[in-house]
Amino acid sequence: MSDTGGTMGENGENGENGENGENGENGENGENGDGTAGGTVPGPDGQGGAPSGASRNDPWARYRFPGSPDSGEETPAQRDRRYRELPRTVLPSQDPGIRQGLAFDPALKHFTTAFRVAEPTFDDPAAAAPWHAARRAALDTVLAGVVEGGYRDALVLRGSALLAGWFGAAAREPGDLDFVVVPADWRIEEERTDRMLAGIASAAARVGARLPEGPSIHAAEARSEFIWTYERVPGRRMVLPWSAPGVPGGSVQLDFVFGEQLPDPPRPARVALSGAPGLPGTELLAASPELSLAWKLVWLGTDLHPEGKDLYDAVLLAERFPLRYELLQQVFWLLEETPGGSTLTLTLEDLEEAVGAYGWHHFAEEYPQLAQPEQRHFGERLLAAVRPVFGR
């Protein structure tokens, strides 16, 4: 990043909370409700309250509301849970024939064990294809639940579910659903946030119950946690377990981020991941490919823990879709909380410097078929594709 005074200093060492781990027992779920349809989704304790001031070196100081990490109202028991237990959203399948380890997730760095459930491996390789087909059907079911629950206009879809439609087999297998909550002044601590999560869970369960071949969505077993997406904006993660005939069960992870501006307007998109009976696809609001690429480049160029999956996705996007320099800088200013028109910019040199810093080994462990030949190859492809954006 540069301004009229020169180049900014380093963001800091790129550390990690730990390597991918083996599948272990989840911690206790606590006394936070039963998560039944129409109720609340068990998750972070203590909703409501007002945030305090921000600090550039403290990514969640701006969002200190009751129950958030290191809030003034977080109880010792809540803090101890973050230090000693896995996030409640770590719900690996317990069915035979499938193994799900743990993957480092910087969005959960307020936990000592900052992990999510990793992509699965199977005792019988032939079981992989039907399981992934069932998970895609579960994703479609939950997307249909977003609309049935009345939240189509409150959520903008982004991430792997969109890339699967844009790039087909070249994209990462979609395993989660990422949403930006709109409008941007919807605060995470408002009561309607809990209502939205519970409403989507129960609506998805109703959609699944109507499907002759499933999958079944188990809303009563939903769990949630706070997240901090790319260490910038607060969010909630909800995990919905699912089951389907003939395959091990799994879960759908939904991430909802709050307070994020959209400098490129969302547009309607029909998302159909599975083609399963009774699931023709769902029309939702979606981020554009151009905005998706701008986000990826800013995350890669500025994050303390840049992720290999974002490098891979950015290569696909940059090689197909054009990006306006003005939009890239606007995204940078918004995410870095820099006033519009600032002379501070994201530069090609920032990306060149960051090429070797990505957590590629995590990506290679989860997606070995996509991670070849090596990280350097993808870094070179990305830089070649984005040079025209910077007038090079």
Q: What are 57's two structure tokens?
A: 């070196």
- Residue 291 belongs to what H/E stretch? helix 289-302
What is the distance between the alpha carbons of residues 390 and 313, in angstroms, rounded to a whole number?
Answer: 19
Dump pLDDT digits (tens) for 201-258. 999 999 999 999 889 999 999 999 999 865 578 899 999 999 999 999 999 999 999 9
In this prediction, residue 74 carries a pLDDT of 77
343 burial class (0-12, 13-18, 19+ CB within 10 angstroms)?
A: exposed
Most confident of 60-69, 149-158, 357-366: 149-158
What is the distance between the alpha carbons of residues 198 and 40, in angstroms, rounded to a whole number?
Answer: 5
Q: What are 381's two structure tokens?
A: 């492809």
Q: How many CA atoms lie within 13 A of 84 on its CB side?
A: 9
In this model, does residue 48 exceed pLDDT 60?
A: no
Lowest mean pLDDT among 1-15, 98-112, 378-392: 1-15
In this prediction, residue 75 carries a pLDDT of 82
In this prediction, residue 322 carries a pLDDT of 98
When pLDDT is cut at 50, 70 and 90, the band that residue 69 belongs to is low
When pLDDT is cut at 50, 70 and 90, the band that residue 7 belongs to is very low
In this prediction, residue 306 carries a pLDDT of 82
- Most distant CA atoms of the chain, gap in Å: 64
Most confident of 58-62, 122-126, 359-363: 122-126
What is the distance between the alpha carbons of residues 278 and 240, in angstroms, rounded to a whole number?
Answer: 20
Which has the higher per-residue pLDDT, 202 or 304? 202
In this model, does residue 5 exceed pLDDT 60?
A: no
In this model, does residue 57 exceed pLDDT 70?
A: no
Report the pLDDT averaged over residues 169-196.
Answer: 96
In this model, does residue 267 exceed pLDDT 90?
A: yes
In this model, does residue 118 exceed pLDDT 90?
A: yes
Q: With contact defined as beta carbons under 8 Å apart, do 113 and 18 qualify?
A: yes
Mean pLDDT of the chain: 84
- Angle, helices 308-320 vs 375-386, to 10°: value is 40
For a pLDDT cut of 70, what percent of the chain falls above it? 79
In this model, does residue 163 exceed pLDDT 70?
A: yes
State the CB neighbour count (10 A cutoff) for residue 48: 14
Lowest mean pLDDT among 23-37, 39-53, 159-173, 282-296: 23-37
What is the distance between the alpha carbons of residues 83 and 325, in angstroms, rounded to a whole number?
Answer: 42
In this prediction, residue 340 carries a pLDDT of 52
When pLDDT is cut at 50, 70 and 90, the band that residue 335 belongs to is confident
In this prediction, residue 41 carries a pLDDT of 80
DSSP state of 232: T
Which has the higher per-residue pLDDT, 343 or 289? 289
In this prediction, residue 78 carries a pLDDT of 84
In this model, does residue 315 exceed pLDDT 80?
A: yes
What is the distance between the alpha carbons of residues 247 and 214, in angstroms, rounded to a whole number?
Answer: 11
What is the distance between the alpha carbons of residues 46 and 66, in angstroms, rounded to a whole number?
Answer: 5
In this prediction, residue 55 carries a pLDDT of 41
Report the pLDDT averaged over residues 40-54.
Answer: 49
In this prediction, residue 6 carries a pLDDT of 34
Q: With contact defined as beta carbons under 8 Å apart, do 227 and 233 qualify?
A: no
What is the distance between the alpha carbons of residues 308 and 104, in angstroms, rounded to a whole number?
Answer: 12
Q: With contact defined as beta carbons under 8 Å apart, do 325 and 222 qualify?
A: no
